[in-house]
Amino acid sequence: MKHIFSDTLLPLMMVFCMVFGVLVVSAEEAPHLENLALVRPSDGGALRILEVEGRSQLCDSSGNPVQLRGMSTHGLQWYPQILNDNAFRALSRDWGSNVIRLAMYVTENGYGVDPGVREQVVQGIRLAMKHDMYVIVDWHVLSPGNPAASEYAGAMDFFRSLSREFPNNPYILYELCNEPNGNEPGVSNDEEGWETVKQYAEPIIAMLRAAGNANVVIVGNPNWSQRPDLCAQNSIADGNTMYAFHFYSGTHKENEYVWSNVESALEAGIALFCTEWGTSSASGDGGPFLEEADPWISFMNRNDISWCNWSLTNKNESSGAFIPYKNGLSEPTALDPGRGNVWPAEKLSVSGEYVRARIKGIPYLPIERPEEAVITHAEEGYPDLPCTFEDDTRQGWGWFANSGVLSRLSVETVRGSKALSWYAEYATIDLQDKWADAPRLLCSNIGIYREDKRYVAFDLYLEPQRATRGGLSVILAMAPPSLGYWAQAAEPVPVQFAGQDVTERGADGRYHVRAVFDLDKLRDGKELGPEDLIRDLTIVVVNNGSDFAGRMYLDNVELLSGGE
């Protein structure tokens, strides 16, 4: 059958299509589509690095060059729901991935705070093995930027214990430090910075090898893994070590800085692995920039460079592969597609749909998507305290770009006073990331100092169409440059619709809370001094087991002193 098809039918069909103008072959250039019939662990076995035409190249156990292509998870502490049999089957079979990267954050409530995240890594490894994919265990160094910082002190023990649980396992690649960078305590973007990373990595590699683990190891490098060229000048004396590079196509373009660093590392002959790239800007959002991603894909395919795309999440950021929750616009795609199912294209984001095609090596022929309605908000106005909204503007308040709620912001009268108002509703499925479906308001560059003040306070009114259970939590955050652009009030302010301590409801049917946040009580032991610029105010109204749907009103945002 195959024989007849290719020799007789196919040419005939092509003539037919050409004559009748049917498009069978996409106009896309070949390198994006290059399908090397990605080698599976069951065929490729243990990976190793060999010299091929003067360059170090990832090869399978028979010595043939291999390319791995697949996805990276988002932070496993936030999106562990991707660790399920159906998802891994879909990624392996429907997406054609032969690798998956498990991003294990250490800070940001990751492994350092909750060592239980290790179990998720183990689960991810087992699922990858079951579905015949190689698997990268990523020790996700991000902030602080020095892998030798105290926050990451558990690295050696982590890799030791994992490699004991999976001794010399041919499926596993170890990525020792996602992205060293300059965030304090950080590493400099130069030879010295790389030397610090190298000295962190070498003992771990030595430990692995001494215990008989020949696994491929991947090492990040300065400036968010954009300097593999530094590694080339001073490489690690280990035959199975590769070097990472990362790019985000909205920020890092063809022939620019990262690209030329990669080229020079490649020319110097070291083995490279793009363990993380995104179609967005470096923030993880914006775009997606698909046309800018294409030259990178061609370049990597041409050079047999393996890659993983960021990331498997339904968070509302454009690099995420799945449709996010957007109040009134879209329901989030479940990270478990269901038994034996695949995610249909409309459940994938634009980025997800594009990357799936690039992993498979098939033409990217995007589906049509509904156009998003343009929302006109009340006039922006100027950020200044107090925010009373009596001038009919938003006084600088707007939605944070990936807020779960992006509905119209208007100025409405509530109890005789003007207030900023919006409609909000929460996702019907439980989202691990409680901020993902929450309204998240931002007033940037409000430019205030704390001086002798003790509290940030405001009024919040809630007008429910529905609120029969649970409650909400009101959160305040600021962006003081002196505190790393983030300082969050330690205590959220609760609103309760049912159960104990139900919030009192006014005669007009609205709930009212006077939210007061103590600036002397910040999370992570941060301290805000009188001369510290606060810069931005952020208010997030997080769901706490409620079914709330309705309007919210914000009024009288101000700084108060201790006695008030």
Rounded to a whole number, what is the distance in angstroms from the first to the last CA of the chain? 85
| Cβ–Cβ < 8 Å for 440, 379 | no
Q: Which is nearer to ligand IDC, 44 or 286 (CB)?
A: 286
- CA dihedral of 120, 181, 239, 68, whole degrees rounded to 10: 50
Q: Which is nearer to ligand IDC, 179 or 459 (CB)?
A: 179
Burial of 432 (0-12, 13-18, 19+ CB in 10 A): middle
Identify which range of 47-55, 276-284, 341-349, 490-498 contacts ligand IDC by CB under 6 A: 276-284
d(CA 300, CA 36): 12
Q: Which is nearer to ligand IDC, 71 or 557 (CB)?
A: 71
CB of 349 to ligand IDC, least distance (A): 13
d(CA 245, CA 276): 7
Q: Which is nearer to ligand IDC, 108 or 165 (CB)?
A: 108
Task: Find the binder of ligand IDC among 178, 215, 351, 546 (CB under 6 A).
Answer: 178
d(CA 315, CA 332): 8
d(CA 244, CA 224): 10
The answer to whether 276 contacts ligand IDC (rule: CB under 6 A) is: yes
| Cβ–Cβ < 8 Å for 374, 407 | no
Q: Coil, helix or strand for 379?
A: coil
Identify which range of 198-206, 278-286, 322-330, 524-532 contacts ligand IDC by CB under 6 A: 278-286
DSSP state of 65: B
Token pair, residue 525, equals 């032991």
Token pair, residue 338, equals 């269901």
Identify which range of 18-26, 126-134, 279-287, 387-395 contacts ligand IDC by CB under 6 A: 279-287
Task: Find the binder of ligand IDC among 51, 108, 157, 372 (CB under 6 A).
Answer: 108
CB of 62 to ligand IDC, least distance (A): 33
The answer to whether 179 contacts ligand IDC (rule: CB under 6 A) is: yes
Q: Coil, helix or strand for 85?
A: helix
The answer to whether 142 contacts ligand IDC (rule: CB under 6 A) is: yes
Q: Which one of 34, 53, 165, 179 is the catalytic residue?
A: 179
CB of 501 to ligand IDC, least distance (A): 32
Chain positions 363 to 392 lying near ligand IDC, rule: CB under 6 A, are none
d(CA 127, CA 99): 11
Task: Find the binder of ligand IDC among 95, 134, 139, 224 (CB under 6 A).
Answer: 224
CB of 69 to ligand IDC, least distance (A): 18
Chain positions 304 to 343 lying near ligand IDC, rule: CB under 6 A, are 310, 315, 317, 319
Task: Find the binder of ligand IDC among 236, 282, 429, 549 (CB under 6 A).
Answer: 282
DSSP state of 94: I
The answer to whether 294 contacts ligand IDC (rule: CB under 6 A) is: no
Q: Which is nearer to ligand IDC, 33 or 76 (CB)?
A: 76
Beta strands in 337-436 (DSSP E): 397-399, 410-414, 417-425
Closest CA to 367 of 380, 381, 348: 348
> Which residue type, as a one-letter code, is found at position 403?
S
Q: Mention every residue, 6+ apart, whose C-beta is less than 8 A from residue 525.
A: none
Catalytic, 179? Answer yes
What is the number of the residue whose Cβ is closest to ligand IDC? Answer: 284
CB of 429 to ligand IDC, least distance (A): 19
Q: Which is nearer to ligand IDC, 125 or 274 (CB)?
A: 274
The answer to whether 111 contacts ligand IDC (rule: CB under 6 A) is: no
| Cβ–Cβ < 8 Å for 152, 141 | yes
Q: Which is nearer to ligand IDC, 179 or 229 (CB)?
A: 179
Task: Find the binder of ligand IDC among 55, 118, 198, 246 (CB under 6 A).
Answer: 246
Catalytic, 276? Answer yes
The answer to whether 437 contacts ligand IDC (rule: CB under 6 A) is: no
| Cβ–Cβ < 8 Å for 429, 543 | no
Identify which range of 61-69, 92-100, 119-127, 277-285 contacts ligand IDC by CB under 6 A: 277-285
Q: Which is nearer to ligand IDC, 170 or 320 (CB)?
A: 320
- What Å distances lie between residue 214 and 3, 217, 315, 441, CA to CA? 42, 9, 36, 50
Size, binding site for ligand IDC by CB under 6 A: 15
Q: Which one of 184, 254, 276, 317 is the catalytic residue?
A: 276
The answer to whether 113 contacts ligand IDC (rule: CB under 6 A) is: no
Token pair, residue 21, equals 């103008």
CB of 141 to ligand IDC, least distance (A): 9
Q: Which is nearer to ligand IDC, 310 or 511 (CB)?
A: 310
Helix, strand counts (H, E) of the chain: 13, 21
d(CA 163, CA 172): 9
The answer to whether 283 contacts ligand IDC (rule: CB under 6 A) is: yes
Task: Find the binder of ligand IDC among 41, 110, 144, 284 (CB under 6 A).
Answer: 284
Q: Which is nearer to ligand IDC, 213 or 279 (CB)?
A: 279
Token pair, residue 502, equals 């139900």
Kindly give the pairing relationship between strand 440-443 and strand 537-544: antiparallel
Q: How far is CA 56 from the centre of its chain?
A: 30
Chain positions 452 to 481 lying near ligand IDC, rule: CB under 6 A, are none
Chain positions 17 to 56 lying near ligand IDC, rule: CB under 6 A, are none
The answer to whether 163 contacts ligand IDC (rule: CB under 6 A) is: no
d(CA 351, CA 290): 8
d(CA 299, CA 277): 13
Kindly give the pairing relationship between strand 397-399 and strand 306-312: unpaired
Report the catalytic residues: 179, 276
Under the rule (CB under 6 A), what is the footprint of ligand IDC? 108, 142, 178-179, 224, 246, 248, 276, 282-284, 310, 315, 317, 319
